[in-house]
Amino acid sequence: MSMNNQGRPTRSEDIETGCAPATFTGNRALILEEKLIFESGSTDRTGIDFPAAPDAPSKLGGLERSVEIGLPGLSESETVRHYTRLSRQNYGIDLGFFPLGSCTMKHNPRLNEKMARLPGFADIHPLQPQQTVQGAYQVIDELADWLKTLTGMPAVAMSPKAGAHGELCGVLAIRSALEARGDAREVILVPESAHGTNPATAAFAGYKVEDIPATKEGRVDLDALIARLGPDVAGVMITNPNTCGLFERDMKKISDAVHEAGGFVYCDGANFNAIVGKVRPGDLGVDAMHINLHKTFSTPHGGGGPGSGPVVFSEALAPFAPLPFVEGQGGEYRLVEEENAEEHHASSFGRMVAFHGQMGMFTRALTYMLSHGADGLRQVSEDAVLNANYILRSLEDVLDAPFAPSGPCMHEALFSDKGFADGFTTLDIAKGLIDEGFHPMTMYFPLVVHGAMLIEPTETESKDAIDEFVGALRHVVAAAKSGDANLKAAPHHAPRRRLDETMAARKPVLVYKDSETAA
């Protein structure tokens, strides 16, 4: 063995590699086996010494806590370390490729963060006098303008907090419009290729949900939809581009038929990233559509949120949009609320939230739009679709891609589990990808494809990153096809091996109990 003059070995080839022995602590190098915070520290200790409370009479009328609260005593450094270690076990878009289909996990530009942290945006309060927050209102108004321009729709409600909340906002506007004309329709039609939140939203808003089947090409069955339309149908909820990664080419025909039958068209805009600057949903006859700022317009999500889901409206639904909203006139901005809504917004269905929405996300989304410009946003869509098609064509020789023959995909590529060895499933592919250092794709959704794998790379991944992912996935797929027993036991390298998802769902442990109480 060659040694340097400090006695420190410089080469490691003689060291026995292979199966690593267990360590004394359970830690593996810098991957620490982290205890729950209740298991570290002690209730007898405290991180900060407070002086004893003065002996004053209680004002709680006998409702004071009479038992110990049981919080662990930890110093500041112990607390910081605990949460920092936990954060290192997380996986996020800042760490690597995150190909969750229909989630648009794109990079969150740091310029957005810089703008959102400007004190004029970050340190204001919703109840501040309106003349002191004119700049913030201008941001909301300009963002609203971009959204209306990009969608070709005349109105937008900025307050909904995320996708499903936006869906609810749209469906409540549909309900209000129908009620206003004394039309008690009961059914909302939802195609199989829609997001799972669509039927949930319709049911939550009090509608009966009916499925519309998909064609073999993965699109809405237009004939089946038209056949079902009638005086009891309040509207349809369509995801476009849909969850098979395909553009609903018959959208205009669908809208025309639904309008003809007296209903409204809700479009789930979660997949808007594929068509920004290319298609205006307003031109397709859409009456309401939510836009996920946290997907399409690069604000953080997937644990880093909060989300933000503004809803654009057609002329027909605009009068029913929720309050409040920002209105600008001659460089002055004001908030239109209940007390001043009479003039031109008296038929609003009410409020979705207490205040105007996610100010921090508005600032980030507008920053993204201004830094890209209209041509840049169009290129975003083009690159997102290009990347997804690159994935589709790089994998279709090894994975079954049921809709690949019908042409290019949009922002995401869909594969099935056809051709895997007996007993091997999509779940094994996901676990194998974890070993390879990738967050798995969306799996088992949409339901129209057996063992679905839905991959959305977004435009912010480089060709190198995608090639690396494709290489890893091809390797894992080969193992699933040959029936490699090692894959069945994956992940091998994660801090925890394969978890019992069934037991976790059937007998979840939701509240910490120390071992004595639990036993």
- Taking the complex as a whole, how short is the minimal distance between the CB of residue 378 and another protein, in angstroms? 37
C-alpha closest to that of 96 among 296, 308, 275, 302:
302
| Distance between CA atoms of residues 45 and 191, nearest Å | 58
| Distance between CA atoms of residues 413 and 387, nearest Å | 10
From 77, 502, 515, 517, residue interacting with another protein (rule: CB under 8 A): 502
Q: Closer to another protein at the Cβ: 74 or 454?
A: 454
Q: Distances from the Cα of 349 to the Cαs of 169, 176, 201, 234, 480, in angstroms?
A: 9, 6, 17, 17, 53
- Taking the complex as a whole, how short is the minimal distance between the CB of residue 435 and another protein, in angstroms? 20
Q: Which stretch binds another protein (CB under 8 A): 143-151, 236-244, 305-313, 497-505?
A: 497-505
Give how many residues touch another protein by CB under 8 A. 6
Asked if 76 and 169 touch (Cβ cutoff 8 Å), the reply is no
Q: Distances from the Cα of 213 to the Cαs of 59, 231, 423, in angstroms?
A: 63, 20, 29
- Taking the complex as a whole, how short is the minimal distance between the CB of residue 425 and another protein, in angstroms? 9
* Contact between 506 and another protein per CB under 8 A: yes
Q: Which stretch binds another protein (CB under 8 A): 169-177, 179-187, 393-401, 500-508?
A: 500-508
* Contacts for 346 with CB less than 8 Å, ≥ 6 apart: none
Q: Closer to another protein at the Cβ: 5 or 502?
A: 502
- Taking the complex as a whole, how short is the minimal distance between the CB of residue 305 and another protein, in angstroms? 24
* Contact between 17 and another protein per CB under 8 A: no
Which three-class secondary structure state does DSSP give residue 183?
coil
Angle in degrees, CA 205, 210, 211, rounded to 5: 125
Residue positions counted in the chain: 519
Q: Which stretch binds another protein (CB under 8 A): 152-160, 376-384, 489-497, 501-509?
A: 501-509
Read off the amino acid at residue 32: L
Token pair for 220: 């809405």
* Contact between 118 and another protein per CB under 8 A: no
Cβ neighbours, 10 Å, residue 442:
20
- Residues between 241 and 270 with contacts to another protein, criterion CB under 8 A: none
- Residues between 447 and 476 with contacts to another protein, criterion CB under 8 A: 447
Q: Closer to another protein at the Cβ: 86 or 447?
A: 447
Element (H, E) at 309: none
- Taking the complex as a whole, how short is the minimal distance between the CB of residue 499 and another protein, in angstroms? 11
Sheet with 155-157: list strands edge to edge. Answer: 155-157, 311-313, 288-290, 264-268, 233-239, 187-191, 208-212
- Residues between 426 and 445 with contacts to another protein, criterion CB under 8 A: 444
- Taking the complex as a whole, how short is the minimal distance between the CB of residue 216 and another protein, in angstroms? 14
| Distance between CA atoms of residues 156 and 164, nearest Å | 16
C-alpha closest to that of 473 among 384, 410, 413:
413
Q: Closer to another protein at the Cβ: 17 or 502?
A: 502
* Contact between 71 and another protein per CB under 8 A: no
| Distance between CA atoms of residues 48 and 67, nearest Å | 21
Cis preceding linkage at 306, omega within 30: yes
- Taking the complex as a whole, how short is the minimal distance between the CB of residue 204 and another protein, in angstroms? 15
- Taking the complex as a whole, how short is the minimal distance between the CB of residue 209 and another protein, in angstroms? 9
* Contact between 501 and another protein per CB under 8 A: yes
* Contacts for 176 with CB less than 8 Å, ≥ 6 apart: 320, 347, 349
Q: Which stretch binds another protein (CB under 8 A): 97-105, 302-310, 473-481, 502-510?
A: 502-510
Of the chain, the end-to-end C-alpha distance in Å amounts to 54
- Taking the complex as a whole, how short is the minimal distance between the CB of residue 502 and another protein, in angstroms? 4
Q: Closer to another protein at the Cβ: 248 or 428?
A: 428
- Taking the complex as a whole, how short is the minimal distance between the CB of residue 506 and another protein, in angstroms? 5
* Contacts for 68 with CB less than 8 Å, ≥ 6 apart: 43
Q: Distances from the Cα of 254 to the Cαs of 257, 270, 294, in angstroms?
A: 5, 19, 28
* Contact between 496 and another protein per CB under 8 A: no
From 56, 505, 509, 518, residue interacting with another protein (rule: CB under 8 A): 505
- Taking the complex as a whole, how short is the minimal distance between the CB of residue 406 and another protein, in angstroms? 21
| Distance between CA atoms of residues 157 and 166, nearest Å | 9
Q: Closer to another protein at the Cβ: 421 or 427?
A: 427
Q: Closer to another protein at the Cβ: 447 or 478?
A: 447
* Contact between 64 and another protein per CB under 8 A: no
Q: Which stretch binds another protein (CB under 8 A): 306-314, 356-364, 474-482, 499-507?
A: 499-507
- Taking the complex as a whole, how short is the minimal distance between the CB of residue 450 and another protein, in angstroms? 9
Q: What is the DSSP letter of 165?
A: H
* Contact between 397 and another protein per CB under 8 A: no
Note the residues at the interface with another protein (CB under 8 A). 444, 447, 501-502, 505-506
